[in-house]
Amino acid sequence: MLSRAFCLVAGLGMVASTANAADLIVLHVYMQPMARALPFYVGVDKGFFAQRGLKVELEFTESSVNQRDALASGKANIVYSAVDNAVAMVETAKKDVVIVTGGDSGTNEFYVQDYVKEFSDIRGHAVAVDATNTAYALQAKKILLQHGLKDDTDYKLNPVGNGSLRLKSMIEDKNNAAAILNLPYSLQAETAGLKSMGRTIDMIGPYQAAGSFTLRSWATANSGTLEQYIAAFVESLRWSLDPKNRAEAVAILIDKFNLPKNIAERSYDLMSDPAFGFAPDARFNMDGFKNVLALRAEIEGRMPAAPDRYVDLNYYERAMKLTK
């Protein structure tokens, strides 16, 4: 498995009086490499996690399959990813997973090769996705159905992995006609000559994309730790979105993702749009989540389940009372 593991414990000097490094509770958090990792870097570098007695070890994975496997096996304590993956774990893998925060709307756009003038030009080609049965692959299926295209009939899904790998697959093989990309890969795709057919939220409506989820048993047994984690993440996110911190946040994106300044700046500005990027205070978008469930049910040909089967925001509500 191609992955980058980061032990994010920088900046402990500024919080030494609050907690000694040896006393910190270690949390293994899995996500995909993307610009929306910004608050995690901030949480460590600025000491927000350590101030709450936590040492976050973040692992970037090549696909959501890796994340789901890690959570199911106990390697991951918390996953920050498209929450449809949590729904899939409950329904398909029969794992008792619970979503505990919102996060963002995904910053997703539908990118295509230069030969695609309209959606029908995708016919006979492949669409690069992460996993074929969750999240943004379902978005792609829905969008293409709206234009009369069915998977396995008019096009094939090519499960290559995370956003960086989807972009790479399109650049290296023009038979990969399309992919849903998020930041910073969507902006890099534009630079590479690919073009956007539009934002997915404009095509299919509000969407609760990434959020935090975990095993319900772990949440129950570690409720205090989970609430401190959520509080620290919210504080990190607030710092990240504060306009007075824009220059420093952009510098973090440049450093961590090796981005040109203009791409980092545009990524930051787009992520700061609450309709497209981060939700203030990582609030959960219930209307967006109902759309997630309706989309999955439509693709699978069944009635959608009630949201409370998958979501417990009590941890979040208690955490918000802890925030500064």
Instruction: Tell me which amino acid residue 229 is.
Output: Y
Beta 109-112 vs 97-99: how paired, if at all? unpaired
Domain final position from 204, 227, 246: 204
User: Both 195 and 127 in a single domain?
Assistant: yes
Q: Which two tokens stand for residue 20?
A: 């000694």
Low-confidence ranges of the chain (pLDDT < 50): 1-18
User: Both 10 and 87 in a single domain?
Assistant: yes
User: Both 132 and 18 in a single domain?
Assistant: no
Cα–Cα distance between 296 and 135 in angstroms, integer? Answer: 8
pLDDT at residue 6, as a whole number: 36
> How does DSSP classify residue 306?
P
Beta 25-31 vs 54-60: how paired, if at all? parallel
User: Both 146 and 295 in a single domain?
Assistant: no
CB 252 within 8 A of CB 38: yes
pLDDT at residue 151, as a whole number: 93
User: Both 216 and 308 in a single domain?
Assistant: yes
pLDDT at residue 265, as a whole number: 98
Instruction: Tell me which amino acid residue 158 is.
Output: N
pLDDT at residue 11, as a whole number: 36
User: Both 145 and 220 in a single domain?
Assistant: no
3-class secondary structure, 271: helix
User: Both 123 and 252 in a single domain?
Assistant: no
User: Both 96 and 242 in a single domain?
Assistant: yes
CATH assignment of the domain containing 198: 3.40.190.10
User: Taking the CB of residue 91, how many other CB atoms lie within 10 A of it?
Assistant: 16
pLDDT at residue 214, as a whole number: 98
User: Both 213 and 88 in a single domain?
Assistant: yes
Domain final position from 182, 204, 226: 204
Structural domain for 141, as ranges: 109-204
pLDDT at residue 7, as a whole number: 39
Q: Structure pTM?
A: 0.90
Enclosing H/E stretch for 293: helix 286-300
The total number of structural domains that make up the chain: 2
Domain final position from 170, 204, 238: 204
How far lies 84's CA from each of 6, 58, 187, in Å?
A: 25, 21, 24
The pair phi, psi for residue 312, each rounded to 5°, is -135, 105
User: Both 258 and 233 in a single domain?
Assistant: yes
User: Both 130 and 267 in a single domain?
Assistant: no
pLDDT at residue 131, as a whole number: 87
User: Both 213 and 316 in a single domain?
Assistant: yes
- Report CA torsion sign: 77, 80, 86, 89: negative
